[in-house]
Amino acid sequence: MKTFQPQPGFVVQAYQFALDPNVTQEAALRSHCGAARAAYNWAVGWVTAAWWQRKAEESYGIPEAELTPWRPWSLPALRKTFNEVKKTDPRFADWWQENSKEAYNTGLANAAAAFDNYAKSNNGKRKGARMGMPRRKSKHHARLACRFTTGTIRVEPDRRHVTLPRLGTIRTHEKTRKLQRRIVNGTARVLSATVRHDRGRWFVSFQVEVKRETTKVARCDVTVGVDLGVKVLAVMADSAGEIRYIPNPAHYDSALKVIKRLSRRVCRRQGPDRRTGQKPSKRWLKANAERTRIHHRVANLRADALHKLTTTIGSEYGTVVMEDLNVAGMLKNRRLARRIADAGFGEIRRQLTYKSEWNRYRTVVASRWYPSSKTCSNCGAVKAKLPLHIRVFRCDGLDCGLVMDRDENAARNLAALAAACSTGTGVAGDLGTRVPKPRGADQKTRTTRQARKDPAGRAGGAKPTHSRTETRDLHQDTTTQLGLW
């Protein structure tokens, strides 16, 4: 899809409003979201059919030149083919005219992005975990969402209604004065609108190009290091010597007792069962809606607290230093996963990153391998080990003897990292400082040599073992154009 580049002085941000559709409008919303899912499933099936056909033909010994040609997955190609088959395909012929073309374009665009991400991940051009092949979306589990980029997309002057293509004018649950006032003044332009169903409610999000005045930070020459945690959400240590502790609101833990009680109530009532065709009872729907409201409230409280925290940090300091935390790996710890997810480490970093363009402050991300907690903020000595249950840092240096809270020490090191990166002094916090690795841990993957032994147990010649990066490169050289088989 088209990527919008904001003009100088403009930023692209979102305005979200809850909707109050009537019965007819809600049915139309579900129809559009279902059309997007159907177009996505068609694109996945159309592209992968050629892949499996080629694999079957290769098993029969058919030469490469005679194999079924690859089917393109770009958005223009998918859109062109879909427009040709939608009038004759029995899956769409009877009802495709009931929805806006933007609904089908949403599904095709999502499919094109999914295939592109899969190809890049399979070829080593995409960071993160290896992605699998795109799969069909289930009717019962897929999130209902649809995006509109053309047509009548308007915020009504009464500030209580929005107009969308083919859906008409829908009443909003809250006033839209924040966006409508900017549109009237000529400081905002709506680019697209996305409707989605989340936690039992319908929402509309407008992607808007907004003229935003750059806000100067209060202390542009002060650097702050932000160390995130579970017991204390954030410990901030700035270059001026000020230390601030931000307690963790723990919204989910506060509501956990009520959620458990409501969950037991839902389980005791007759719920839906797709295997037997059993319909949920009215008492189950009522109890489930009450539980959903609690989850929705917790999510809103968390989002409000994180926005207030990041806005406060971004409006005060000129340089913000954060950690590159492996949140996905941290969530695998079953003892801390719930509290880590409730804290929202990744959301804090995301908000600080995009808000830096609004207030023009600098963000520095420390390396994931930088030992901020193990390094003494006073003398620079680095501990070999520092278990997580030890919350007080005690320096092992003979002439230091620093005793400090573990998180405060890490925040001080992060604050010093910004100056070390710019000056390259080699002191504690510099990326070039060499630290001991007692367990041999390193972010680099090396080529190792493993000694071979004969059946008698005598050491023989060395057998080279390829590193992960080398193995991936060798795999790319031996695979086909898409790296699939």
**Tokens found for residue 338:** 């719930």
Q: Find the helix packing angle between 75-85 and 23-59, rounded to 10°.
A: 100
Does residue 234 contact residue 227 with C-beta atoms inside 8 Å?
yes
Q: Which residues lie closer than 8 Å to 315 by C-beta, 6 or more apart? A: 215, 217, 218, 359
Please pick, among 102, 209, 227, 316, the residue that the annotation labels catalytic. 227
CA distance 15 to 204: 8
User: Catalytic pick from 102, 209, 316, 323?
Assistant: 323
Catalytic, 209? Answer no
Cα 378 from Cα 428, distance rounded (Å): 9
- Nearby residues of 53 by Cβ (< 8 Å), 6 or more positions away: 68
Q: Which helix (H) or strand (E) holds 362?
A: strand 362-366
pLDDT at 6: 52
Other residues' Cβ atoms within 10 Å of the Cβ of residue 407:
22
* List 316, 407, 408, 430, catalytic entry: 407
Q: Quick one: pLDDT at residue 5?
A: 52
Say how many residues make up the chain. 485
Q: Cα dihedral angle (110, 116, 121, 122), rounded to 10 degrees?
A: 120
User: Which residue's structure tokens are 């001026």?
Assistant: 240
Three-state SS at 261: helix
Half-sphere exposure of 410 (CA within 13 A, CB side): 22
Longest dimension (CA), the chain: 88
Residue labelled with tokens 């399979």: 122
pLDDT at 241: 87
Note if 323 is an active site residue. Answer: yes
Q: Which residues lie closer than 8 Å to 248 by C-beta, 6 or more apart?
A: 229, 230, 231, 232, 233, 339, 343
Q: Which two tokens stand for residue 171?
A: 């009443």
pLDDT value for 359: 83
Q: Quick one: which of 140, 144, 137 has its CA closest to 195? A: 144
Q: Is the pTM of this model over 0.85?
A: no
pLDDT one digit per residue (tens) for the chain, 485 residues: 444 455 667 888 999 999 999 999 999 999 999 999 999 999 999 999 999 999 999 999 999 889 999 999 999 999 999 999 999 988 898 899 999 999 999 999 999 999 999 999 999 999 888 899 999 999 988 999 999 999 999 999 999 999 999 999 999 999 999 999 999 999 999 999 999 998 889 999 999 999 887 778 888 889 999 999 998 999 999 988 899 999 999 999 999 999 999 999 999 999 999 889 899 999 999 999 999 999 999 999 999 999 999 999 999 999 999 999 989 889 999 999 999 999 999 999 999 999 988 888 899 999 888 999 999 988 888 988 898 888 899 998 878 888 999 999 999 999 998 876 654 433 334 444 344 444 444 555 444 344 433 433 434 433 333 444 433 443 333 333 333 33
**Residue appearing with tokens 């690859």:** 70
Q: For residue 7, what pLDDT is reported?
A: 60
Q: Respond yes or no: is residue 442 known to be catalytic.
A: no
